[in-house]
Structure 1
Amino acid sequence: MLDLIIDARPADIGNGFGVRRILPYRLRRMLGPFIFMDHAGPVQVAPELMPTLDVLPHPHIGLSTVSYLFGGQVVHRDSLGVEQVIRPGEVNWMTAGRGIAHSERFEDPATLAGGALEMVQTWVALPEAAEEDAPSFTNYQPQELPIFTDQGVWMRLIAGDAFGLRNDVKTHSPLFYLHVVLQTGARFGLPTGYPERGAYVAKGSVEVSGRTYTTGQLLVFTRGLDPVLVAREPTTLMLLGGEPLGERYIWWNFVSSRKERIEQAKADWQAGRIALPPTDNAEFIPLPADRSRPAGSSPPPPPLS
């Protein structure tokens, strides 16, 4: 029933800001169109140290970044001129297409509202036909994201189509992405109709076929089977998956179906051909040293999104 269990690995995205890296993984580069997943936090720091968490302007191509918060808030700025605060329950969906740069700043005391900053970042690879689209950004408010509740179950549809729920979050290929909260003993399944499906345990633990899986594990399920997840305690899950897109190359913040496009993106960032955010252009993350490795190994650690 389980194809694979991926244990999150610690990663440092700079300045000692540690995250749990879930995707990509050497035995599983993608899950549907999802090619990257980080879980940051909960982070608790003194207000005067918040700037040390900042993610400076950096580039992307060939993907959509998806930011979703459990706690705190983050200020997004990008080369389209967008400046957007994201709060828990909202979705920031940025499609890089042919190229965009953005930053994420932790500059407001409300960043630590509720005691801690906690967020999940995913990247969704684009179909080949959309890889060179114009970049775009949309913030979706909680009221735009449908919620379903049942006995011991709460869930929000972040994007895609699942359990009969839909929203207006613009996606480029068939996928599902859900935030699910289960009370002890609650039973839950996965959306049907998708060839690749997974459940990330963000908090708590679940039992599947008599075995227990805990915080920081991504469960990847066999095609065609309908597993039942039983919460062993109050549990938070992120369910994700969809239709595979085919092979993708990833290096630093760049994703493409073509190796040569990655090389072009490196040169473009090095030469300043990808514009910086107009309201956050005094500093940026330089192109890292090329640490390319054989296929199947991990790419250089990227920023959070």
Structure 2
Amino acid sequence: MQPFIAIAPHERDLGGFSVRRLLPSAARRMVGPFVFFDHMGPAEFGPGQGIDVRPHPHIGLATVTYLFEGAIEHRDSLGSLQRITAGDVNWMTAGRGIVHSERTPADLRASGGRMQGLQTWVALPRDQEHCDPAFVHHPAATLPVIEMPGVSMRLIAGSAFGQTSPVQCASSMFYIAVEMEAGASFVLPDAYAERGIYPLSGDVSINEGVLPAGQMAVLNQAEPVTLQALSPARLMLLGGEPMDGERFLWWNFVASDRAFIEEAKERWRNGGFDTVPGETEFIPLPGEPKPPESFS
């Protein structure tokens, strides 16, 4: 029996900027609290080019931005202005509602350069869906590093391998960036009921079943598994305990009740969300009157 379900990405080209979406998928809607998983890039921008994700709203989730190359400038309706670079974590809790933008910083736009990263959404538990919005930034140096022979891990959020990230999470989970030398291996314990593995580059074996780069494995059974790099590999480990019920996704909104999404639509349509200082643009609701150009 194959030890995992393999999820192939849905890929979109946003004008020289490739995004591969793994969650949600027909095969699996969530892995622990993770309801959305996008791999952005790698992209090479020439001078004057970059990303421009105009202000847009969220409810019912926390967005987690993690980069491997390049930088993004985050602005939100709380007044946050934060540059995120490789290895840092931007954790934005939407709660009852927040608006943010993500753009290439002016200096990198002038010079051009590479960008690659991950944008994930973590669903909030029912009793925190309508909490106050918040934003925190954690530099790479503040995150625990776990070393094994031929393996280096950075614990982005949650707890794993006896370590706990300083990033405060609303539910029991783990999120880890891993670098592996060819031939290196380690055991992923069964500490969480739901676990996913995503190689950005390099193929890996999972209990001898091969997972190619660019696909996500969702483990079928709650038992330890051995991961081995068949070539130099970069991968993400993610998961946690099952969510407290179904989650509905529409555009940038996540909720346990469709009524919350309908209310958020009306708020955005009628200007009921707070605005982002320093921004004058925004992404309208899909089809009203222009389709969004956001990757999220």
Instruction: Report if aligned partners of 2:8, 2:216 keep a CA contact under 8 Å in 1.
Output: yes
State the Cα deviation string for residues 201-247 of structure 1 (Å, max 9, x = none): 11111122333221111011123221111101110010000011120
Gaps of 5+ in 1: 291-299
Matched with 2:70 is 72
1:114 deviation in Å?
Answer: 10
Equivalent pairs, count: 292
Q: Relative to 1, partners in 2 of residues 1:302 and 1:199: Cα closer, same or farther, differing over 3 Å?
A: farther
2:221 counterpart letter in structure 1: R
Distance, in Å, in 2 between the alignment partners of 1:222 and 1:113 is 46
1:275 deviation in Å?
Answer: 1.4
2:96 equivalent to 1:98: yes
TM-score (norm 2): 0.94
1:111-122 superposed matches below 5 A? 115-122=113-120
Q: Relative to 1, partners in 2 of residues 1:302 and 1:182: Cα closer, same or farther, differing over 3 Å?
A: farther
Matched with 2:45 is 45
Distance, in Å, in 2 between the alignment partners of 1:114 and 1:45 is 5
Distance, in Å, in 2 between the alignment partners of 1:79 and 1:258 is 24
1:70 deviation in Å?
Answer: 0.1
1:193 deviation in Å?
Answer: 1.6
Distance, in Å, in 2 between the alignment partners of 1:132 and 1:199 is 30
1:142 deviation in Å?
Answer: 1.4
Distance, in Å, in 2 between the alignment partners of 1:43 and 1:169 is 28
Instruction: Report if aligned partners of 1:24, 1:30 keep a CA contact under 8 Å in 2.
Output: yes
Distance, in Å, in 2 between the alignment partners of 1:208 and 1:112 is 43
Gaps of 5+ in 2: none
State the Cα deviation string for residues 78-124 of structure 1 (Å, max 9, x = none): 00000000001100000000000000011334369994100101000
Identity of aligned residues (%): 48
Moved more, 76-85 or 142-151: 142-151
1:304 deviation in Å?
Answer: 3.5
Instruction: Report if aligned partners of 2:202, 2:230 keep a CA contact under 8 Å in 1.
Output: yes
Distance, in Å, in 2 between the alignment partners of 1:92 and 1:302 is 21
2:47 counterpart letter in structure 1: P
Q: Relative to 1, partners in 2 of residues 1:301 and 1:287: Cα closer, same or farther, differing over 3 Å?
A: closer
Q: Secondary structure at the match of 2:266?
A: helix
Distance, in Å, in 2 between the alignment partners of 1:186 and 1:229 is 8
2:259 equivalent to 1:260: yes
Matched with 1:22 is 22
Instruction: Report if aligned partners of 1:94, 1:137 keep a CA contact under 8 Å in 2.
Output: yes
Q: Relative to 1, partners in 2 of residues 1:261 and 1:29: Cα closer, same or farther, differing over 3 Å?
A: same
Distance, in Å, in 1 between the alignment partners of 2:110 and 2:228 is 32
2:144 pairs with one of 118, 121, 146: 146
1:19 counterpart letter in structure 2: V
Q: Relative to 1, partners in 2 of residues 1:114 and 1:284: Cα closer, same or farther, differing over 3 Å?
A: closer
Matched with 1:211 is 209
1:27 deviation in Å?
Answer: 1.9
Distance, in Å, in 1 between the alignment partners of 2:180 and 2:249 is 34
Matched with 1:303 is 294
1:192 deviation in Å?
Answer: 2.6
Q: Secondary structure at the match of 1:47?
A: coil
CA-based RMSD: 1.9
2:199 pairs with one of 186, 198, 201: 201
Q: Relative to 1, partners in 2 of residues 1:115 and 1:152: Cα closer, same or farther, differing over 3 Å?
A: farther
